[in-house]
């Protein structure tokens, strides 16, 4: 059977040099049109679509979807001229008479596959980098947020020609067809399990990949931490987007001397943020679908069976995939809450006595996308950073490293390969072409045959 996306792919392949040879002014013009579409024309449609998909509060949509894409566009607009400029490099003595530079050229025809949890952000931010770098792109957002995918398809159709940027809606079958095509680069955001499938498919054509994956991000609260301040930011980071955030604190390791204070502060903060009835709170959303609802509630039931202590929450309502923000301790190590990426509003906590335990616990698991540390001790913080690995880290905060465009964003091994955002995103979608121009080849003559005795001495 003919690949249903072959024609689309070929049209982009044919067009790739027209797009690739655009200058920074032409690319900025496109980015500005996309910015207007997101900021004005489709802003309300996007808010409503995300609310229909999983009751995402409008303010969260503005802050965590629209604002971040618009910021990505603004950063690209301000810096594109310098990003695209050839970077001249030095010349070793042996190459006297030559000059060399790095040319940032587009990779070509790119595929962006995105997840449902921040569907606008995670589809359009990589798109901004791909456009900035001069590529043609096929986008495949998640089938789990169909209302949002529909609006994004409309935006893309409205702003771009299909032979430059196209969006195809659909599920895994659509992805599978697309993955058979010889893309030059594949940018995937999603789970580590699917990341492996993407990498395998990419290997068939030796397409380069950027994999933005997930995993269990630890959060440490040590004996010197200001518990009240720590809890305020951990509760925000954990329950934002109903816990469905790749860099959300997945579990907390709290020093045993701070456990009680931590739990008390946590309960109070949850009430302050989401009231005593979070189900009615306008600041708290829903789990995306029944499949994830069932997965998450099975974790709560397993914790109950294991006689873990539920300090707060633990209730749920299948009518609209509601799960109360939940805090659990005394969980046996075999429980899924300590082994699988939670990706929902349930937070397990574990206590520890000394930092060696913390470091060996973290290092016994796959390398995380983020690691957070709340501490007033520079010694403790340095010890943890030096003896662990993670994609990113915040000290005395959660998640906000994501919004500093001067930082690369991405994971390591199981949590991802390659980096994104601003200049790092531009580089992910660019080939750094090494160019050397020779003006005077005399010194190189020593390399040419015949290999005389004299040359051997030189």
Query: Which residues lie near ligand NAD (CB under 6 A)?
Result: 113-117, 122, 140, 142-143, 171-172, 175-176, 189-191, 194, 197, 212-214, 246, 341, 343, 369, 411, 416
CA distances to 179, 182, 348, 428 from 216, rounded to whole Å, are 27, 33, 11, 25
Measured from the CB atom, the residue of 102 and 403 that comes closer to ligand NAD is: 403
> Residue 176 or 282: which CB sits closer to ligand NAD?
176
Distance in angstroms (rounded) separating the CA atoms of residues 3 and 192: 26
Distance of CA 162 to the CA centre of its chain: 26
Query: Nearest distance from residue 37's CB to ligand NAD, in Å?
Result: 22
Q: How far is the CB of 51 from ligand NAD (least distance, A)?
A: 19
In Å, how far are 215, 224, 272, 291, 354 from 231, measured between CA atoms?
22, 14, 12, 30, 20
> Considering beta carbons, is residue 36 or 172 the nearer one to ligand NAD?
172
Q: Which is nearer to ligand NAD, 117 or 430 (CB)?
A: 117
Active site residues: 212, 246
Contacts with 149 (C-beta within 8 Å, 6 or more apart), sequence order: 119, 141, 142, 143, 167, 169
Can you say how many angstroms the Cα of residue 86 is from the centroid of all Cα atoms in its chain? 28
The least CB distance from residue 178 to ligand NAD, in Å, is 8
Smallest separation (angstroms) from ligand NAD to the CB of 400: 15
What is the closest distance, in whole angstroms, from the C-beta atom of residue 176 to ligand NAD in the complex? 6
| CB-nearer residue toward ligand NAD: 136 or 244 | 244
Task: Classify the C-alpha dihedral 333-329-283-368 as positive or negative.
Answer: negative
Nearest-approach distance from CB 246 to ligand NAD, in angstroms: 3
Question: Tokens representing 21?
Answer: 């040879």
Residue nearer to ligand NAD on the CB measure, 131 or 287: 287
CA distances from 442 to 101, 112, 450, 458 (A): 21, 48, 15, 14
194: Cβ–Cβ under 8 A, 6 or more apart, which residues?
188
Strand partners, 171: none
Bond from prior residue into 12 cis (ω within 30 degrees of 0): no
Task: Provide the minimum distance between the beta carbon of 371 and ligand NAD in the complex, in angstroms, as a whole number.
Answer: 14
Pair type for strands 309-312 and 326-329: antiparallel
Task: Report the nearest approach of ligand NAD to the CB of residue 228 (Å).
Answer: 29
By beta-carbon proximity to ligand NAD, the closer residue of 194 and 302 is 194
Closer residue to ligand NAD (CB): 256 or 290: 290
Distance of alpha carbon 440 from alpha carbon 99, whole angstroms:
10
Does residue 200 contact residue 133 with C-beta atoms inside 8 Å?
no
- CA distances from residue 23 to 26, 70, 106, 383 in whole angstroms, order as listed: 5, 21, 12, 47
Residue nearest to ligand NAD (CB): 214
Task: Check: CB of residue 68 under 8 Å from CB of residue 403.
Answer: yes
- Helices 119-132, 67-84: axis angle to 10 degrees equals 10
CB 106 within 8 A of CB 20: yes
In three-state secondary structure terms, 331 is coil
SS3 290: helix
C-alpha separations of 230 from 285, 324, 341 in Å: 23, 21, 22
């Amino acid at each position: 059977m003919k690949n249903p996306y072959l024609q689309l792919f070929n049209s982009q392949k044919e067009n790739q040099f027209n797009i690739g040879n655009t200058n920074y002014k032409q690319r900025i013009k496109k980015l500005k049109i996309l910015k207007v579409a997101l900021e004005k024309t489709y802003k309300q449609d996007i808010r409503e679509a995300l609310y229909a998909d999983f009751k995402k509060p409008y303010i969260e949509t503005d802050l965590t979807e629209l604002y971040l894409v618009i910021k990505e566009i603004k950063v690209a607009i301000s810096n594109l001229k310098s990003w695209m400029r050839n970077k001249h490099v030095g010349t070793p003595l042996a190459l006297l008479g030559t000059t060399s530079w790095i040319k940032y050229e587009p990779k070509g025809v790119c595929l962006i596959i995105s997840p449902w949890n921040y569907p606008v952000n995670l589809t359009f931010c990589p798109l901004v980098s791909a456009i900035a770098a001069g590529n043609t792109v096929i986008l495949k957002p998640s089938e789990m947020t169909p209302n949002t995918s529909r609006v994004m398809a409309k935006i893309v159709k409205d702003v771009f020609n299909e032979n430059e940027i196209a969006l195809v809606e659909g599920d895994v079958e659509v992805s599978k067809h697309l993955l058979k095509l010889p893309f030059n680069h594949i940018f995937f955001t999603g789970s580590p399990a699917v990341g492996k499938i993407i990498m395998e498919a990419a290997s068939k054509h030796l397409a380069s990949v950027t994999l933005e994956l997930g995993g269990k991000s630890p959060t440490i609260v040590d004996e010197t931490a200001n518990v009240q301040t720590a809890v305020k930011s951990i509760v925000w980071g954990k329950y934002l987007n109903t816990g469905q955030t790749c860099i959300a604190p997945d579990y907390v390791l709290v020093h045993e001397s701070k456990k009680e204070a931590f739990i008390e502060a946590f309960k109070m903060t949850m009430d302050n943020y989401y009231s005593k009835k979070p189900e009615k709170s306008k600041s708290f959303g829903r789990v995306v679908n029944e499949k994830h609802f069932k997965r998450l509630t099975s974790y709560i039931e397993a914790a109950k069976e294991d006689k873990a202590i539920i300090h707060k929450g633990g209730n749920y309502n299948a009518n609209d995939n509601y799960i109360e923000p939940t805090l659990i301790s005394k969980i046996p190590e075999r429980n899924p809450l300590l082994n699988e990426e939670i990706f929902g509003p349930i937070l397990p906590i574990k206590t520890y006595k000394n930092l060696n335990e913390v470091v060996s616990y973290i290092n016994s698991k796959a390398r995380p996308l983020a690691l957070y540390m709340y501490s007033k001790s520079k010694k403790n913080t340095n010890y943890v950073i030096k003896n662990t690995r993670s994609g990113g880290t915040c000290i005395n905060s959660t998640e906000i490293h994501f919004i500093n465009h001067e930082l690369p964003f991405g994971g390591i091994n199981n949590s991802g390969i390659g980096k994104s955002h601003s200049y790092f995103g531009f580089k992910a979608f660019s080939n750094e072409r090494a160019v050397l121009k020779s003006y005077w080849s005399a010194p190189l003559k020593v390399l040419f045959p015949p290999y005389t005795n004299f040359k051997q001495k030189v």
